[in-house]
Homo-oligomer: A and B are copies of this chain.
């Protein structure tokens, strides 16, 4: 096989706007996570998770779905209608892994699978193995459920990533042919069509960014304009389910299937970033408030309902029935990053802190210590006799019949360094506090910013500036909301947090700055309208949410009978915390007279980071516990 075509690798980062934006991302190769949990995770992702995903694509027949169309496999079609997207997400993960490490380990696999996709592609540009192999009569004829454009979107994103990461253009050729078909069929003057599962919108904008072909951006805009006018036949889950209940510009509440809403919002924000259409940003500002001020789990997860994998009402946030799909957190991370680039109303610090919460909690909890077992749903509580459900097993599974989540983790973790820093206003902005080495973008100099820290295990963050820097350049460091009085201390004294949540210091060669964050464990409560969390507390330390797992309790202590005393919490071994609790003695029956709760013996109880739960025998777990009176 001849070597694939390669263009020069440029903007090796997801979501790289070409219109002028205040915040501009840095390419993945120039932001290297060196040590600490995120670097360890990326390493495991590259060595264990991505190879595991590649293996599962074979085990679950995803590649055979292509081969059978070429007469190279006798297998029946397997998986859901959007099974192809699993392959494309794994390709995207590989692309960012190449950007990060320059690995060549996946090249021959890429050669094979890209050739496979190219050979299955029809002369028209169409490629979708379920339609082609199972139901050709449904081609573009049942957009509400076929996921054809969703699948196309992931193909396009993978192709864009491969060009950006490695200059490799063979999948791009496939993607463009498919995108051109979509433009021809659904572009201006064509069929009014939108996909039941948004995703194509953000992909088309990315393809526009890479190619400069305006028709892709216009198609994304058109699909956003068309949504909310009842184009999709309504099934039993209602028009809210796929956000077709109201025009995008009038949709101020996050509703329906959480992943669909959040992917849609990423696409809408992408279109705003390239067109500057303020009416889109206004809707996204309202949506972001809805999702994050009233519908987000403490872990940075979304979706309160199992039935339709949907957002609940405002403040409907049950812990045990949190659906909290891994993909919804991935989608929100992608959207929230775009809101940061869009300079949305909530402000960069809030967006960055949300991404930090998501990465260290919901996303980290979705994968086990080996990198090969995954949660799809991420509840914040497991009761004793809870039985597994489809997509919501009691324990992490090595794969799912609906395998959207594992490859989504893989592509997100491989690209994590994309979300660490931006350049804006003549400054390097440090949004995520991780042990890292950052090459300055040309406009700020040719030097390097080295961040040295054990954060979030330790609150000390040292920043060294090395090399040549443009005079007047600054460094903006995010000071987290839970440590507001911390300062960045350097040659010119301490600098506190500005109103926007960042402390600013000169970006001086040779300078050494130290930020000491207050990692005192703290008790958190929820808004009084969250009925599920009334009179309950969660324990947080820095950005890390904790939980109590039955595995850490000696009989007869039961995690469901513990109440947390508002006493100082100490740090134990290996990131654990030690709480003081009292045992609640149960009153008689299920319902009874309004008598005072009977708080019994005091015990010390170990809490572990929520991200690490379920790595021992499966058993009860709680993030939120009742508050005991002092």
Q: Is the interface of A mostly helix, strand, loop or mixed?
A: loop
Q: How far is the CA of A386 from the CA of B240 in the complex (A)?
A: 12
Name the segment of A39-47, A359-367, A532-540 touching the other chain: A532-540
Given the known inter-chain contacts A387-B255, A531-B624, A536-B534, please indicate yes or no for A594 contacting B316, CB distance below 8 A.
no
Q: How far is the CA of A363 from the CA of B293 in the complex (A)?
A: 37
- B531 and A532: CB pair below 8 A? yes
- A534 and B593: CB pair below 8 A? no
CB distance from A366 to the nearest CB of B (A): 20
Name the segment of A55-63, A334-342, A584-592 touching the other chain: A584-592
Given the known inter-chain contacts A383-B313, A532-B318, A534-B536, please indicate yes or no for A524 contacting B591, CB distance below 8 A.
yes
Point out the residue from B240, B307, B525 that lies within 8 Å of A591, measured CB to CB: B525
- B318 and A385: CB pair below 8 A? no
- Is A302's beta carbon under 8 Å from chain B? no
Given the known inter-chain contacts A318-B532, A534-B535, A590-B527, please indicate yes or no for A390 contacting B597, CB distance below 8 A.
no
- A528 and B387: CB pair below 8 A? no
Q: How many protomers of this protein does the assembly include?
A: 2
- Is A296's beta carbon under 8 Å from chain B? yes
Chain B residues whose C-beta falls within 8 Å of the C-beta of A522 in the assembled complex: 593-594
- Is A285's beta carbon under 8 Å from chain B? no
- B534 and A626: CB pair below 8 A? yes
Point out the residue from B306, B383, B561 that lies within 8 Å of A307, measured CB to CB: B306
Chain B residues whose C-beta falls within 8 Å of the C-beta of A530 in the assembled complex: 590
Q: How far is the CA of A390 from the CA of B531 in the complex (A)?
A: 24
Given the known inter-chain contacts A525-B591, A531-B532, A593-B522, please indicate yes or no for A318 contacting B319, CB distance below 8 A.
no
Given the known inter-chain contacts A314-B385, A390-B236, A535-B535, please indicate yes or no for A527 contacting B320, CB distance below 8 A.
no
Contact with B along A71-100 (1 / 0, CB 8 A): 000000000000000000000000000000
Q: How far is the CA of A179 from the CA of B501 in the complex (A)?
A: 75
- A593 and B524: CB pair below 8 A? yes
Nearest chain-B residue to A387 (Cβ)? B240
CB distance from A441 to the nearest CB of B (A): 34
Chain B residues whose C-beta falls within 8 Å of the C-beta of A315 in the assembled complex: 383, 560
Nearest chain-B residue to A383 (Cβ)? B313
- Is A231's beta carbon under 8 Å from chain B? no
Chain B residues whose C-beta falls within 8 Å of the C-beta of A578 in the assembled complex: none
Point out the residue from B306, B313, B590, B593 that lies within 8 Å of A305, measured CB to CB: B306
Contact with B along A515-530 (1 / 0, CB 8 A): 0000000111111111
- B320 and A528: CB pair below 8 A? no
- Is A237's beta carbon under 8 Å from chain B? yes
- Is A345's beta carbon under 8 Å from chain B? no
Q: How far is the CA of A359 from the CA of B53 in the complex (A)?
A: 54
Chain B residues whose C-beta falls within 8 Å of the C-beta of A321 in the assembled complex: 304-305, 312, 316, 318, 321
Contact with B along A570-597 (1 / 0, CB 8 A): 0000000000000010110111111101
- B306 and A594: CB pair below 8 A? no
- B531 and A320: CB pair below 8 A? yes
Nearest chain-B residue to A290 (Cβ)? B385
- Is A389's beta carbon under 8 Å from chain B? yes
Point out the residue from B293, B313, B381 that lies within 8 Å of A320, measured CB to CB: B313
- A525 and B592: CB pair below 8 A? yes
- Is A347's beta carbon under 8 Å from chain B? no
Nearest chain-B residue to A317 (Cβ)? B590
Q: How far is the CA of A146 from the CA of B14 in the complex (A)?
A: 49
- Is A68's beta carbon under 8 Å from chain B? no
- A592 and B385: CB pair below 8 A? no
Q: Which of A385, A525, A627 has the most CB of B within 10 A?
A: A525
- Is A566's beta carbon under 8 Å from chain B? yes
**Chain A interface residues (CB < 8 Å from chain B):** 236-238, 240, 253, 255, 292-294, 296, 298, 304-308, 312-316, 318-321, 381, 383-390, 522-538, 560-561, 566, 584, 586-587, 589-595, 597, 624, 626-627
User: 7 A-B residue contacts at CB 8 Å?
Assistant: A237-B390, A312-B321, A315-B560, A524-B591, A525-B591, A531-B624, A535-B535
